[in-house]
Structure 1
């Protein structure tokens, strides 16, 4: 139950970081959608480790193998099963963590809740689980293309270095031109240097991913417990290391008065639109046809390569110095994951809207 995401479109994921593989089953995916396998693999390549000097050195091919639900290049409407085999586990890197709890990690809570934990890379709590989300999101993106929906995310902040302008001020085609995935080349270089410096210190750093959804149909979402922004928040906050979510002007809008914050309507050649978009494309929990934009804050990775105080499984004070291959900053690899969860949410709510309109 709690390994699944979505309502009509539902992803159930399985697998652990150092198990045999990571996979999933997608139920409720529309039939007849042409599936571009190269696109799915390209999305996985954006998420995979070992991309650059500012990501983990773990080398994984992350090649997806589809098991069902696709025939002659199209979705059949049946459950889509898939798996990505793990190829490059160094489980021995975690031997010194077997008897201790890593600070700010899921070790302690997992052990208390289940009475057992997979200490190899965090097991189920590892960010490697997000492979299944990216595969499913890549399929959802292809279905959304037919509706004219485009989803783009980028790194907008690393530590204190941030983009000061709204997404409309940047050329989003530049996102994939640098390893940080930031549309501002100057800021991207500063972010990259900060991440590399932090990595050299054995430490980690956090930041923010901004996401923009263009072409979303009007009317997605429900006014009370099915608010579209709440569903987006739920999807984003289920991502490893995600700590906060805000859409539209968010906390920044608190500095304004209602008269300044309100999005005034006008008739644009027969189409009702708003002159501004402080609401972030969602009003009353329902999409209004304007761009949906939101931000997700990610904490610094919990595993740092320096000595820290902690306790062992018996509650005795001790110290731990982690080993292994870890990301100094999750932001560059989180970008495609944010896009994937946004795609799954929007397609799910589109399918929900179709059923309520019958």
Structure 2
């Protein structure tokens, strides 16, 4: 598999705002990453159910390319003081037989426990992908450098496996890739070779019951999620909402519904300690002592975006990321360098 990533990062942002209303709606409904929620959210008895568009579970959030993290990745991000980078995804139930009611909504569940992913947040950032000359505010992965359109943790030992494998899982499942969607919309060749190597085939996506406790998490106390689904749907999750879900994920046991109370309590304490806290929400501007750059940067991106919306001003240069992220300690990215045989490409 070979992909041409330079100047793209389409899989790292939600670029539906660049489409007309009809195409944007189709893209959101379709999803981008091979979101295996249709299989993952089933019980062991029905893990192989059909994955048709009519049966697809719709998430309560509107992230068109949500990237799920594994339990160990959640723990790693938590240990590095970056809990503010993570957020949950819950789904609408297909029918009442798999549902738990929360905030008046039918939430997909396994054995009466609401099922969810933990993934990376996408604050608004000024970016100019796909050869565009003017930047736009787009929901962009917390770790993406708006200036170079490169991941700040690519090559890091803690780089998420789902990101490293993309778009192999889509190809293996026969789903359209983000590369192909970018090609169809903006031109340029992005998916240069869609043939998967033996190694890429061996590292397939976690599906069905194998994902429980490893990538698909189940909350043991639905009542503790009161208000969370409503705020998730409205795009107004609070730090404590994220911390609750992160704690459950970090305390999960692969292959089972078991939760370690010790890991839950420890995880929740660490998650809350890493969250911007003033005002109890994402609008807060204070950060705990020793916190990473992530939380304060997310808060500032939201503030700058909201101010720009109110003032109807022009979108700032992506170089603003130097002030918002790098001056707070975010690792720099190398930029794209022309190479004789594989200019601006990445081979998996």
The structure with more strand, counted as a fraction of residues:
1
Q: Scaled by the length of structure 2, what TM-score is found? A: 0.22
The structure with more helix, counted as a fraction of residues:
2
Q: Scaled by the length of structure 1, what TM-score is found? A: 0.22
Larger radius of gyration between Structure 1 and Structure 2: 1
